[in-house]
Amino acid sequence: MRAPARPDPRAALRIALVALCLAAAGTARAAGFDLQALMHQLAQVRSGQAVFVEDRRVQQLDQTLRSSGRLSFSAPDTFVRETLKPSHERLAVVGNQLTMSRGNRSRTALLDSVPEAVVIVEAIRGTLTGNRETLERYFDTSVQGSAQQWQLELVPREPRLRGQVAHLRLSGGQGQVREVRMTLADGDTSVMRIEPVPGDTPAKKP
């Protein structure tokens, strides 16, 4: 009966070195994906439409409120959020002009005069359009992950904005935002899941 082969320490060492090199290469690739790379990826998509479902946890009520509807954007500065359930509401922004509609009532204001709207709109609109200048104007930013799966952390710079929203985390991949998690200053939280409209083919930059 043949004796069992003795382990070759040199072979084990080679395997360990190969594994270490592969891990280092993966870390280097991930480290190369930063805000600039993310914004470049997102900026390739010039317009798009999606449906959303948002769950908002309200501490004072000790319950979760669900809403759903549609989102659309068009670079450089148009963003529309239309809530269909539980009631119809519409928020439309073009440049610095904000129009909010509920039922038969409508109100128009400057976006930067409505702090909570500034944070939410500029976080989502700035990310959807790959507008790095806007994001860095309003937020401290950090990016993790890769082009296939990334997370973008946003913390409002100004105290008046942090008085409304503590921080946001947007995640997605392949040039699409798929989820927005938001923590308000009062502790309420919301999670908005985004699904691109089937068959929608956004125009690309030439």
Question: What is the rounded CA–CA span in Å between residue 204 and residue 197?
Answer: 16
**Average pLDDT over the chain, rounded to whole?**
85
Contacts of 184 (CB under 8 A, 6+ apart): 164, 165, 166, 190
Residue 55 has pLDDT above 80, yes or no: yes
Q: What pLDDT sits at residue 31?
A: 53
Could you tell me the two tokens for 14? 């080679």
CATH fold for the domain made of 33-196: outer membrane lipoprotein receptor (LolB), chain A (2.50.20)
**How is 153-205 classified by DSSP, letter by letter?**
EEEESSHHHHTTEEEEEEEEETTEEEEEEEEETTS-EEEEEEEEPTT----B-
- What is the CB neighbour count within 10 angstroms for residue 26? 11
Reported as a single tens digit per residue, the pLDDT across 112-158 is 999 889 999 999 999 999 999 999 999 999 999 999 999 999 999 99
Question: What is the rounded CA–CA span in Å between residue 10 and residue 22?
Answer: 19
Q: What pLDDT sits at residue 63?
A: 85
What does the pLDDT average to over 173-194? 95
Does this model's pTM top 0.75? My answer is yes
What does the pLDDT average to over 161-178? 94
Nearest to 71 by CA among 202, 200, 194, 205: 194
Residue ranges per domain, the chain? 33-196
Residue 24 has pLDDT above 50, yes or no: no
Question: What is the rounded CA–CA span in Å between residue 41 and residue 127?
Answer: 10
Q: How sure is the predictor about 44, in pLDDT bands with cuts at 50, 70 and 90? A: very high
Q: What pLDDT sits at residue 84?
A: 97
HSE value, Cβ hemisphere, 13 Å, CA-based, for 133 = 2
Q: What pLDDT sits at residue 103?
A: 86
Question: What is the rounded CA–CA span in Å between residue 31 and residue 58?
Answer: 37
Selected residue with higher pLDDT from 113 and 11: 113
Contact 129, 117 (CB under 8 A): no
